[in-house]
Chain A
Amino acid sequence: MTTTKKKRKYFLIPSYFAVICYVIFLGFPFLWMFTTSLKSPIELLQLDQTLLPKGIYWQNYVDIVEKRGLINSAKNSLVIAVCTTILTTIFAVPAGYAIARLSKVFSGAATGWILISQVFPVSLVIIPLFMAVRRVGLLDSIWGLVLVYLVAALPFALWMLKGYVASIPLDLEEAGAMDGASSFQILRNIVFPLLVPGIVATSLFTFLNSWNEFFFALVLIQSPESETLPLTLARFMGSEGQVLLGPLAAGAFLATIPSLLVFGLLQKKLASGLLAGAVKG
């Protein structure tokens, strides 16, 4: 018994070595970002940098929150992400249901279109979207971004939801139909409750993608009042060529924490959601 235990411990050395490598690879950039956010501008100018700050300097956080319009950008990003998520869910749930349940020809065509829309590079689709947004007068407005993010999010949301619907046994719905429920009643009272985990995963995915999105915002937004969080943070990189390292690190750290918490909590659901769309086609 003891020999096997010893052997097992010995066996684990390569595993722990790999763990250390992964922790450094994944964690070091993040740790460096955090410690940098606590360093004073004077310390950041010194030649011999240490990983741990010599003194804790909270001013970077005060600076980024109060002076640089981070609150306003965060508010814009939040409004955009919430509206996009709600609209995407409203459109994608019934449509995803239809794709999963209707005739083979229809569902094949819809799946084909979803794949094609994923295949087209963003830089191509952004041109007609840019013109369409300009035509309806929503250029440089957060509502224009909501519209664009909705279009961008729908295909993948449909794909995920289709997988979730396909995993719900058809018998349940047929039983409902036998009891005289209308198709809307079936969707609302039978399918929807079973679909809740899938909807949570899809909404989360949509929310984070809109929260993090950069390039549509870069093309469609011009004025500081409509800026989203990634745009504002990118501006700290310094249009004058000067990097405001401390406040930038503080802002980056603040922008990552909420998504990290949500991800940590819902990791399993999200993973199985991606699985559902992929495997139960």
Chain B
Amino acid sequence: MSKNLIITKRKRSSGKMYNRGAWKYAIPAFIPLVLLSIVPLVQAIWTAFTDQVAGFNVEIKFIGLENFRRLLTDSLFWASFRIGIIWAVSVTLLALVLGFGLALLLNQKLRFLGLMRVLSLVPWAMPPVIVAIMWSLLLRPTSGPIDQILATFHLPGSGIDFLGDFNTAFPTVIMIGAWVAMPIITVSILAAIQGIPTEMVEASIIDGANAWQRFRYITIPAVRAITTALVALNIIWQFGSFGLVFVLTAGGPGGKTFVPALFAYNEAFKYGNFGYAASMGVVMALAIILMLGVYLKASKREDVQR
């Protein structure tokens, strides 16, 4: 009895001491991290409060909140900001629905699953720039294969320049964005579904649960945590990304697809206004943090309720 007590006591104290050792040991690993990651970030935020422009030997002045004041009345930026939010949310939701559906199919015992599994990874394995070039070639009016298929079967939509038309450009780019975002969602959700113990499913069948009930009370709770994380990550990634839009439409037609990340990129590298562009980045980061805060809080509250 007393021997036991001593062992537990010693174990606890040694754990503590050992943790203290790990702290010291971690410091050298963090030096390059601070230099390579935190410094550029802080520098970027600092740039937002200056009038820095591109070029060598230009004097940089601290101008306080001037950039932000200017940004507040920049209606072009806020139009772009709205597009960015619609873009991030739509791409994420569409990819989530499509990816979830695909994961459910991949979990069934169907034919051609091997082929499906490989195909489900294609958009992820392709270099994004190739994806963008490929889709713009696929969607070319008259000579592109999609238009030819539509024309052959006399379907509506033939003759439309999907990426150049005012009404179709944004939905088309969102669809392609979802095509790219699908694989991560599919494999993650599939992994979560396959992690469900088979006994649990069997027991529910014995208890007389139908397919819908099994989906509602077993599958959904099992993928809840990973879905929350995937939605949060995707919204972050999509809101900050502009590669696809850059190659597909360059923001056009008429600014319909001009996402804010592209706006900031142009401001910096086309017009050379580093300071002003940085203030846009700061505003975007704050907006994303706010959105995520609300979203994560809501999903946590939902967790507590159940």
B138 at the interface (CB under 8 A from A): yes
A33→B108 CA distance, assembly (Å) = 29
Smallest distance from the beta carbon of B10 to chain A beta carbons, Å? Answer: 7
Closest to A96 in B: B29
Which residue of B108, B122, B130, B240 has the most chain A CB atoms within 10 A of its CB atom? B130
Chain A residue numbers with a CB within 8 Å of B33 are 91, 95, 154
CB pair B18 A173 closer than 8 Å: yes
CB pair B15 A155 closer than 8 Å: no
Smallest distance from the beta carbon of A260 to chain B beta carbons, Å? Answer: 4
B159 at the interface (CB under 8 A from A): no
Closest to B108 in A: A15
Closest to A20 in B: B112
Chain B residue numbers with a CB within 8 Å of A12 are 110
CB pair A267 B36 closer than 8 Å: no
Smallest distance from the beta carbon of A16 to chain B beta carbons, Å? Answer: 7
Contact residue among A29, A151, A178 (Cβ-Cβ distance under 8 Å from B40): A151
CB pair A233 B191 closer than 8 Å: no
CB pair A233 B129 closer than 8 Å: yes
B interface residues, how many (CB within 8 angstroms): 96
Contact indicator per residue, chain B 1-40, by CB within 8 Å of chain A (1) or not (0): 0000000001100110111011101100110110011111
The stretch that binds A, out of B66-74, B164-172, B284-292, is: B284-292
CB pair A233 B133 closer than 8 Å: yes
Residues of chain B in range 96-149 having any CB-CB distance to chain A below 8 Å: 101-102, 105, 108, 110-112, 115-130, 133-135, 137-138, 143, 145, 148
Contact residue among B26, B108, B191 (Cβ-Cβ distance under 8 Å from A98): B26
CB pair A49 B44 closer than 8 Å: no
Interface residues of A (CB under 8 A from B): 12, 15-16, 18-19, 22-23, 25-27, 29-30, 32-33, 47, 49, 51, 91, 94-95, 97-98, 101-103, 106, 113, 116-129, 132, 147, 150-151, 154-155, 170, 173-174, 177-178, 182-184, 186-187, 208, 211-212, 214-215, 219, 229-230, 233-234, 237, 243, 245, 248, 252, 255-256, 259-260, 262-264, 267-268, 270-272, 274-275, 278-279
Sample (24) of A-B pairs whose CB atoms are under 8 Å apart = A15-B105, A15-B108, A19-B105, A22-B101, A26-B122, A32-B145, A33-B134, A47-B143, A113-B37, A119-B236, A121-B285, A178-B14, A211-B127, A214-B127, A215-B246, A230-B127, A230-B128, A234-B129, A259-B124, A262-B125, A263-B125, A267-B117, A275-B192, A278-B233
